[in-house]
């Protein structure tokens, strides 16, 4: 991951130059975090990234993080090695004819031969049908790729609410600092010794959260918590049940994130993901910007399209961008939230192309209309990173 980020540096530096950001001697670490929200989140994340590319901002990103529905989009995106230069190809898939049901049945038939086959595999195929892509590649396939695309981090939680992250290189527990090679998930270990190498889970299965066998046995380490030592398997579930935007892996010094762009596709109460992240950060002692409760109280039922929560010191700045807002809902305050959520509910049949196109355009428009704010905050983050670098030197 460190080598990948170093490669990202040059790409981001050139992008900042193209955007006329002044402090190019220090490149800020920027992450875009996709929320949960089923197909609504998946389609909207693709639309947001498409417009980031159109505005010349996509290459400023070091990371993309996702949970739940956003990981569906990420799996589709990263199925294309050069997706950041051609997001249009993923949009074409979303509105295209889809995959053959026979191919989906064949994949399920193969999975049924595995001792770990479960209803989760059926759900994985259902998502593949929604996203119209059956990608049997693996996450670790990107481990040696050049840094054309932002570095992906897929998130879930373990049943006891421990945050779990998966990257092309490592998978493990964010707070506990326990990680194994992603390519070895599912293989058999004992006391840290590999006994039997098994195939890595493919991108179809990665779109859902499932069990990871004998995680503690990967680690010959006395620091492994007892709750892991005593488990034959750990079960990963939708992180949206805890926090519907994947803030945890992007807080603190590990990745040194200066700016978080957080388009909000959730169906829950507006700003709830922010306050949950604030509470989480306070609990684990990670820097987090001040969230003005007066703004939350005033705007919760009818939010603007963009909010900036400025970070001080080591705190990241957060740009929070509700998908449905008072601008794109044309001031219909009384009808805005219920009607939008009913129309694009998380729990419904796969969207038709009309709904997909509406969501794509709304997500694109939110980025386009707030380009000035994005550029201003990117420049502030660059200036802040430069000052920190000067103090250290």
Q: In Å, what is the CA distance from 122 to each residue of 42, 127, 211, 320? A: 19, 9, 14, 34
Of 46, 55, 133, 56, nearest to 83 by C-alpha is 46
Give me the half-sphere count of Cα atoms (radius 13 Å) on the Cβ side of residue 237: 10
Helix (H, G, I), strand (E, B), or coil: what is residue 235? strand
First-last CA distance in the chain: 25
Q: Distance between CA atoms of 361 and 81, rounded to whole angstroms?
A: 25
Of 242, 203, 204, 238, nearest to 346 by C-alpha is 238
Return the bridge partners of 260, or none: 31, 318
Instruction: Judge contact between 129 and 104, C-beta under 8 A.
Output: yes
Instruction: Judge contact between 263 and 231, C-beta under 8 A.
Output: no
**pLDDT at 33 (0 to 100):** 98
**pLDDT at 140 (0 to 100):** 73
Q: In Å, what is the CA distance from 6 to each residue of 1, 116, 152, 287? A: 9, 38, 15, 24
Q: Distance between CA atoms of 171 and 164, rounded to whole angstroms?
A: 7
Tell me the pTM: 0.88
Q: Distance between CA atoms of 159 and 234, rounded to whole angstroms?
A: 8
The second-level CATH assignment, the architecture, of 2-392 is 3-Layer(aba) Sandwich (3.40)
Instruction: Judge contact between 282 and 288, C-beta under 8 A.
Output: yes
Per-residue pLDDT of the chain (393 residues; tens, 9 = 90+): 888 888 888 889 889 888 888 666 679 999 999 999 999 999 999 999 999 999 999 999 999 999 989 999 998 898 888 899 999 999 999 998 887 778 878 877 877 777 666 667 777 777 877 888 777 667 776 655 656 899 999 998 887 778 999 999 998 889 888 888 888 776 766 666 777 777 666 666 565 555 454 454 445 455 566 666 655 666 777 887 889 999 999 999 999 999 999 999 998 889 999 999 999 999 999 999 999 999 999 999 889 999 999 999 999 999 999 999 988 876 544 344 555 566 787 767 788 999 999 999 999 999 999 999 999 999 999 988 877 655 554
What angle, 0 to 180 degrees and rounded to 10, lies between the N-to-C axes of helices 38-54 and 353-369? 50
List of residues 6+ apart from 195 with CB closer than 8 A: 187, 188, 189
Q: Distance between CA atoms of 238 and 71, rounded to whole angstroms?
A: 11
Return the bridge partners of 318, or none: 260, 309
């Amino acid at each position: 991951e460190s080598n990948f980020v170093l490669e990202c540096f040059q790409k981001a530096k050139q992008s900042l130059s193209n955007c006329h950001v002044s402090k190019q001697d220090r490149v800020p670490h920027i992450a875009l975090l996709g929320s949960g929200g089923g197909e609504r989140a998946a389609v909207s994340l693709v639309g947001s990234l498409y417009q980031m590319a159109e505005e010349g901002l996509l290459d400023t990103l070091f990371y993309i993080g996702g949970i739940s529905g956003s990981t569906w989009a990420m799996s589709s995106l990263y199925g294309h090695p050069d997706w950041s230069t051609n997001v249009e190809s993923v949009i074409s898939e979303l509105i295209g004819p889809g995959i053959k049901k026979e191919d989906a049945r064949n994949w399920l038939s193969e999975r049924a031969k595995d001792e770990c086959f479960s209803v989760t595999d059926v759900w994985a195929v259902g998502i593949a049908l929604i996203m119209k892509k059956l990608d049997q590649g693996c996450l670790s396939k990107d481990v040696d790729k050049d840094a054309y695309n932002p570095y992906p981090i897929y998130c879930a939680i373990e049943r006891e609410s421990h945050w779990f992250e998966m990257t092309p290189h490592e998978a493990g527990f964010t707070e506990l600092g326990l990680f194994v090679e992603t390519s070895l998930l599912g293989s058999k270990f004992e006391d840290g010794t590999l006994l039997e190498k098994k195939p890595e889970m493919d991108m179809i299965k990665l779109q859902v959260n499932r069990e990871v066998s004998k995680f503690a046995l990967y680690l010959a380490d006395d620091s492994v918590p007892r709750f892991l030592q005593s488990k034959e398997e750990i079960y990963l579930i939708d992180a949206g049940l805890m926090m519907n935007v994947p803030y945890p892996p992007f807080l603190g010094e590990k990745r040194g994130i200066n700016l978080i762009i957080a388009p909000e596709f959730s169906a829950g109460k507006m700003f709830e993901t922010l306050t949950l992240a604030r509470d989480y950060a306070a609990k684990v002692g990670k820097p987090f910007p001040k969230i003005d409760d007066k703004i939350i109280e005033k705007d919760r039922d009818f939010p603007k399209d963009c909010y900036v929560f400025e970070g001080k010191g080591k705190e990241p700045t957060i740009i929070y961008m509700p998908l449905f807002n008072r601008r794109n809902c044309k001031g219909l305050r009384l009808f805005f939230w219920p009607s939008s959520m009913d129309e694009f509910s998380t729990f419904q049949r796969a969207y038709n192309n009309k709904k997909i196109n509406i969501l794509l355009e709304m997500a694109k428009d939110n980025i386009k209309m707030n380009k000035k704010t994005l550029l201003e905050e990117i420049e502030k983050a660059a200036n802040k990173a430069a000052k920190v670098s000067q103090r250290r030197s």
